[in-house]
Structure 1
Amino acid sequence: MATDTPSPPPAAGPAITLVDVVKDFGGARDGAAVRGVSLSIAEGEFFSLLGPSGCGKTTTLRMIAGFEEPTSGRILLHDRDMVGVPADKRDINMVFQSYALFPHLSVADNVAFGLRRKRVPKAEIRERVEEILHTVELADKADRRPRRLSGGQQQRVALARALVNRPRALLLDEPLGALDLKLRQSMQLELKRIQREVGITFVYVTHDQAEALTMSDRIAVMNRGLVEQVGPPQEVYERPATAFVAGFIGTSNLIGGRLASVAQDTGTLDLGDGQRITVPLRGARQPGATVELTVRPEKITLTTGPTDAACRVRGTVREVVYLGTSTSYTVRTATGTEMTVFQPNDGTAAATPARGETVWLSWSAAHSYLLTASAAPAPAAPQPADRPAAGPGSLTPR
């Protein structure tokens, strides 16, 4: 049996902790790539860093891995400060979008490569390779060359090669980005299954919202080097903290107005044109304040006449798009706001209006969520280029 399995850390301690981490490459017009990020990732958690290109998620992952050093701040792996510790001295592995498999080696030899470099005994290598190939369901492909495997199978070989070293944490940088949609969706479920079976911490970088929602125990949404919100997928989707999170995670409707009145945990929002809706208040709000709320398209009911719902607005259908399982309606309200409504195509829709028809949109007040200001500043105005484009050896944060 293998004897070098690391002893588990205390259950109460986080696997990875970032404390006010900053990374400034210098010369950036819009500030540092990562600006004061603090995170605590639990042992055995599937944690995703989600955000658009340029938000700093990959740079954050590379700092955890040791490929980049923070400009300031602390990075703790199982309570040990890793700042200044080389990547090969950290008990973590990383999987990239590029599989980087050796084409002349078999699947088993690709997986065993790192163990042989560490001079692990042959019998133990054989045992560990067999074990991990069973976990990734490639035991019957052990003797094949990588070129005879599908893209998803090659990705599982790369994953097995990282996991066979039994790292305390595995970092994954958009590993499914090169796969087609159907295979990517299948691999999302496979990755979650494998993570559950091996029980180690996964830190996963992606720009794909559906991918993060499908696999993660928790998600950190990043924007322009800052973390806008951290929470379980359902919380981030159902109760976005900022307008950026609401707009980036799925489709969301943003409605602005003035708080006409406040009573305990509810308020009345004046939308203009005589329309008012009831909104739940989470935290102190003052009458007269200008606020913005979000409501998801699937939470809205579309009717051809008014309802008695506490939240209802009148509008005109501008566009109708059939999506298979649902139909998307774009409605311009009487106050000029464009809203999206998803209605299931299961025969339960209250109305199926055509373009140009007047309709009413209604929803439960519990499905409205008032937003706070974004953590990140607005983008700087574009400036003329004054330095050469990044070359093959450049490091560009994303």
Structure 2
Amino acid sequence: MVKDFGGVRGGAAVRGVNLTIAEGEFFSLLGPSGCGKTTTLRMIAGFEEPSGGQILLHGRNMVGVPANKRDINMVFQSYALFPHLSVADNVAFGLRRRRVPKDEIHDRVDRILHTVELAEKADHRPRQLSGGQQQRVALARALVNRPRALLLDEPLGALDLKLRQSMQLELKRIQREVGITFIYVTHDQAEALTMSDRIAVMNGGLIEQVACPREVYERPATAFVAGFIGTSNLISGRLTTAGPEGGVIDLGDGQRITVPPSGAARTAGSDVQLTVRPEKITLTSGPAGDASRLRGTVSEVVYLGTSTSYTVATSTGAEMTVFQPNDGTASVVPGRGDTVWLSWATAHSYPLGATPAAPATSAAADRAVPDSGSLTPS
């Protein structure tokens, strides 16, 4: 799927999106501002028409179908509630416009208000509710119509951090209970990791990786994904030795980086790029273990509550970030200017580009990506 605005808004916002989204899945589009995630969502909703490709909803092409004729609802960051109507009347608004029988309206509104835990607020006006409660009313109003898919465009962006974190768990609970496909747009990495069955990481109108949260975090497909999802140390080097069991970058003076085997053929002299997560690294006063180890000087120490972040200038010239838990188990607690050794297991040196950026299996179902340039909530 492609969207090119031409000269009106700077050209192609979406340069090629090819996804299959399973029924009942919580699927997130994650990326920085301007990466094309909201444009993709708007094309699914029918607010924008794609310049090329298809949008299939249960096998039916939605391209050219008006937004109000698609069996899809959308929830925005602004709740757009009617201030003069009660919570129940806000939720019932769409059903009344569709001339659903009164008894059915009452039953469906009552059921969905119980699902979002707002049954006792049915007679309240929106101004009497907290931000999180208003968000749940907007969600109930969308879900009461029983859409095949619900689209959410950064719906928690207006909430404070504590309420936002609480609502993340609430949204996931509600999604599991109603069983409707959620397609969620966010730029918040932690939010996507917390809520999603699978995540599509977007950059520059393209998808860099589609996978379950653990796969995206532990095995990023590209340098962009490694840097965008959490904190990561990127290391480049040339293999001194290589074989079926992996390889070694020998830096001399007892320093080395061990590289695990991968699907890509590697020989001595090959250049590789690796990513290592900060929490996978251990700080010691001397070289430890037979795997990766580097020497460096602590240049910055930041207390983060549950952990402490250390910035270490290594002897290779690269800076490494290390997260050490504040649970009393650390072998050393260095200060700024101290010399330390960094060590980590071979398995935690993940080679970038070792696997293709293709969908991974989630708990929802096994999925294959079609070759038709389509985006399909199936």
Match of 1:100 among 74, 80, 85: 80
Which deviations, in whole Å up to 9, do the C-alpha atoms of 1:177-227 show, x marking residues without a partner?
Answer: 000000000000000000000001000000000000000000000000000
Which deviations, in whole Å up to 9, do the C-alpha atoms of 1:99-122 show, x marking residues without a partner?
Answer: 000000000000000000000001
- Whether contact under 8 Å (1:22, 1:34) holds in the other structure is yes
Match of 2:303 among 322, 336, 357: 322
CA distance in 2, matches of 1:122, 1:290: 69
- Per mean C-alpha deviation after superposition, the further-off stretch among 364-373 and 218-227 is 364-373
Match of 2:331 among 337, 343, 350: 350
CA distance in 2, matches of 1:214, 1:259: 36
SS at match of 1:36: coil
Which deviations, in whole Å up to 9, do the C-alpha atoms of 1:259-284 show, x marking residues without a partner?
Answer: 22221141112457874221113212
**Within 5 Å, which residues of 2 pair with 1:217-366?**
217-271=197-251, 275-287=255-267, 288-366=269-347
Output the TM-score relative to the length of structure 2.
Answer: 0.91
**Which amino acid counterpart does residue 318 of structure 2 have in structure 1?**
T
Match of 2:49 among 65, 69, 72: 69
SS at match of 1:33: strand
CA distance in 2, matches of 1:347, 1:274: 28
Q: Which residue of 2 aligns with 1:82?
A: 62
Q: Which residue of 2 aligns with 1:395?
A: none
Q: 1:368, CA displacement in angstroms?
A: 1.1
- Whether contact under 8 Å (1:228, 1:374) holds in the other structure is no
- Whether contact under 8 Å (2:295, 2:339) holds in the other structure is yes
Q: 1:304, CA displacement in angstroms?
A: 1.0
SS at match of 1:72: coil
Q: 1:27, CA displacement in angstroms?
A: 2.2
SS at match of 2:171: helix
SS at match of 1:37: coil
Residue identity over aligned pairs, in percent, reads 82
CA distance in 2, matches of 1:112, 1:232: 35
**Which amino acid counterpart does residue 183 of structure 1 have in structure 2?**
L
- Per mean C-alpha deviation after superposition, the further-off stretch among 130-139 and 260-269 is 260-269
CA distance in 1, matches of 2:293, 2:195: 35
Q: Which residue of 2 aligns with 1:368?
A: 349
Answer 1 or 2: higher relative contact order, Cα 8 Å, separation at least 6.
2
**Aligned length in residues:** 356
**Which amino acid counterpart does residue 302 of structure 2 have in structure 1?**
V
Which deviations, in whole Å up to 9, do the C-alpha atoms of 1:263-308 show, x marking residues without a partner?
Answer: 1141112457874221113212332222210011001000111112
> Residues 239 and 374 of structure 1: is their aligned pair in 2 closer, same or farther, counting only changes over 3 Å?
closer
Q: 1:31, CA displacement in angstroms?
A: 4.9
SS at match of 2:18: strand
- Per mean C-alpha deviation after superposition, the further-off stretch among 284-293 and 72-81 is 284-293
**Which amino acid counterpart does residue 310 of structure 1 have in structure 2?**
A
* Unpaired segments ≥5 residues, structure 1: 1-20, 377-398
**Which amino acid counterpart does residue 57 of structure 1 have in structure 2?**
K
- Whether contact under 8 Å (1:128, 1:164) holds in the other structure is yes
CA distance in 1, matches of 2:95, 2:278: 51
Q: Which residue of 2 aligns with 1:141?
A: 121
> Residues 272 and 110 of structure 1: is their aligned pair in 2 closer, same or farther, counting only changes over 3 Å?
farther
> Residues 266 and 202 of structure 1: is their aligned pair in 2 closer, same or farther, counting only changes over 3 Å?
same
Q: Which residue of 2 aligns with 1:387?
A: none
Q: Which residue of 2 aligns with 1:12?
A: none
Q: 1:374, CA displacement in angstroms?
A: 12
CA distance in 1, matches of 2:257, 2:266: 16
SS at match of 1:60: helix
Q: 1:375, CA displacement in angstroms?
A: 10
- Whether contact under 8 Å (2:221, 2:356) holds in the other structure is no
Q: Does 1:183 align with 2:166?
A: no
**Which amino acid counterpart does residue 84 of structure 1 have in structure 2?**
G
CA distance in 2, matches of 1:74, 1:275: 52
CA distance in 2, matches of 1:272, 1:37: 45
SS at match of 2:96: helix
**Which amino acid counterpart does residue 114 of structure 2 have in structure 1?**
H
Match of 1:127 among 68, 83, 107: 107
**Which amino acid counterpart does residue 235 of structure 1 have in structure 2?**
E
SS at match of 1:194: helix
Which deviations, in whole Å up to 9, do the C-alpha atoms of 1:2-30 show, x marking residues without a partner?
Answer: xxxxxxxxxxxxxxxxxxx0000112797
SS at match of 2:329: coil
Q: 1:373, CA displacement in angstroms?
A: 9.8
CA distance in 2, matches of 1:284, 1:137: 51
**Which amino acid counterpart does residue 261 of structure 1 have in structure 2?**
T
- Whether contact under 8 Å (1:266, 1:281) holds in the other structure is yes
- Whether contact under 8 Å (2:2, 2:50) holds in the other structure is yes
Output the TM-score relative to the length of structure 1.
Answer: 0.87
